[in-house]
């Protein structure tokens, strides 16, 4: 069963035919909320709003470990993370949809592993390719079927939040090779990897990053809602097509 984690701009999944909501108890505390379980296009799927059902949990306080553990426990076979981002690269305009392929982690102080107790052997996971190749391919194919344009590939810079970045920080991220900037991509991706959950991201460019384009002198928040509303409609369509694809019920292999 495919799990979708929704971020800013996707706090509900309107094309999910809800059967019930389930609170999953975890050894890591409470998840962001109840898992919404149902069907998309007749196929089983589940949804979890990353910031809570009232969008009240700030990025650095999201219980990423509980979220991923709960989805895994409930039977998720793969996870699609949906999140809004700022566009650093010049060709990434507000409203565009990106399927990233790499991450740089600038976060700090977040619980980022399940292997930290004294009675657990030291465990290293390969994170060379942070996103699952097969799940990324399926996202790209679903968008192509619907003729929805995507930007394929990109480096996601994960920042601490909840504040937005300075223009100088964005310049630094660009020098480091980042194309996008967001606050929730880590440790979500690596926790999924530790659990053996195929994980991929769909990012919607909500605005130019600080100091760039229309954000040269500041972020204009009033324009973000319209941009996200339009783009998230396309994201929902991509997810529905992906879930309804012929191989959607087949087990997805681990990429590690």
**Which residue, among 54, 44, 48, has the nearest Cα to 13 in the 3D structure?**
48
Q: Mean pLDDT score of the chain, rounded to an integer?
A: 90
Residue 42's pLDDT is 85
pLDDT confidence of 246, banded at 50, 70, 90? Answer: low
- Cα–Cα distance for residue pair 7/248, rounded to 1 Å: 23
Summarised one tens digit per residue, pLDDT across range 81-112 is 999 999 999 999 999 999 999 999 999 999 99
Percentage with pLDDT > 90 across the chain:
74
CB 183 within 8 A of CB 85: no
- Cα–Cα distance for residue pair 68/79, rounded to 1 Å: 9
pLDDT confidence of 54, banded at 50, 70, 90? Answer: confident
Residue 252, pLDDT above cutoff 50: no
Residue 119's pLDDT is 78
Between 193 and 215, residue with greater pLDDT: 193
Query: Can the peptide bond before residue 37 be classed as cis, meaning omega within 30 degrees of 0?
Result: no
Look-up: residue for tokens 């300075």? 166
Summarised one tens digit per residue, pLDDT across range 121-178 is 888 999 999 999 999 999 999 999 999 999 999 999 999 999 999 999 999 999 999 9
Query: Phi-psi bin for 219: left (phi > 0), alpha (psi -120 to 50), beta?
Result: beta
CB 104 within 8 A of CB 208: no
Backbone angles phi, psi at 44, to 5 degrees: -65, 145
- Cα–Cα distance for residue pair 96/202, rounded to 1 Å: 10
Residue 125's pLDDT is 94
Tokens of 48: 């979890």
Rounded to the nearest 10°, the torsion over CA 68, 39, 54, 111 is 0
pLDDT confidence of 255, banded at 50, 70, 90? Answer: very low
Summarised one tens digit per residue, pLDDT across range 207-225 is 999 999 888 888 877 777 7
Residue 69's pLDDT is 97
CATH of region 2-243:
3.40.50.1580
Between 57 and 118, residue with greater pLDDT: 57
Look-up: residue for tokens 């994980």? 199
How do the domains of the chain map onto residue ranges?
Answer: 2-243
- Cα–Cα distance for residue pair 71/34, rounded to 1 Å: 10
Encode 90-107: b = buried (16+ Cβ within 10 Å), e = exposed. eebebbbbbbbbbbbbbb
In order of 67, 113, 116, 141, the CA distances from 120 in angstroms are 21, 12, 7, 40
Between 226 and 58, residue with greater pLDDT: 58
Residue 55, pLDDT above cutoff 90: no
CB atoms within 10 A of CB 3: 26
Look-up: residue for tokens 């039977």? 75
CB 2 within 8 A of CB 243: yes
In order of 99, 191, 207, 223, the CA distances from 214 in angstroms are 23, 35, 8, 10
**Which residue, among 220, 240, 232, 244, has the nearest Cα to 97 in the 3D structure?**
232
């Amino acid at each position: 069963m495919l799990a979708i984690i929704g971020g800013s701009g996707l706090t509900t999944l309107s094309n999910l035919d809800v059967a019930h909501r389930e609170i999953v108890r975890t050894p890591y505390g409470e998840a962001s909320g109840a898992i919404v379980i149902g069907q998309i296009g007749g196929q089983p799927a589940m949804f979890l709003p990353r910031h809570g059902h009232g969008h009240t949990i700030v990025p650095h306080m999201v219980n990423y470990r509980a979220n991923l553990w709960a989805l895994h426990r409930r039977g998720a076979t793969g996870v699609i993370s949906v999140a809004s981002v700022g566009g650093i690269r010049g060709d990434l305009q507000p409203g565009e949809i990106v399927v990233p392929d790499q991450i740089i982690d600038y976060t700090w102080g977040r619980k980022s592993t399940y292997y930290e107790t004294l009675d657990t052997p030291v465990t290293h996971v390969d994170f060379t390719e942070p996103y699952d190749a097969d799940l990324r391919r399926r996202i790209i194919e679903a968008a192509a079927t619907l003729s929805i344009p995507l930007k394929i590939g990109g480096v996601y810079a994960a920042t601490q939040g909840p504040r937005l970045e300075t223009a100088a920080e964005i310049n630094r991220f660009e020098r480091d090779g980042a194309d996008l900037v967001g606050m929730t991509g880590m440790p979500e991706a690596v926790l999924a990897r530790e659990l053996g959950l195929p994980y991929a991201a769909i990012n919607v460019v909500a605005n130019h990053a600080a100091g760039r384009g229309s954000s040269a002198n500041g972020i204009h928040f009033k324009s973000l809602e319209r941009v996200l509303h339009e783009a998230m409609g396309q994201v929902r369509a991509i997810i529905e097509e992906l879930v309804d694809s012929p191989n959607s019920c087949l087990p997805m292999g681990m990429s590690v």
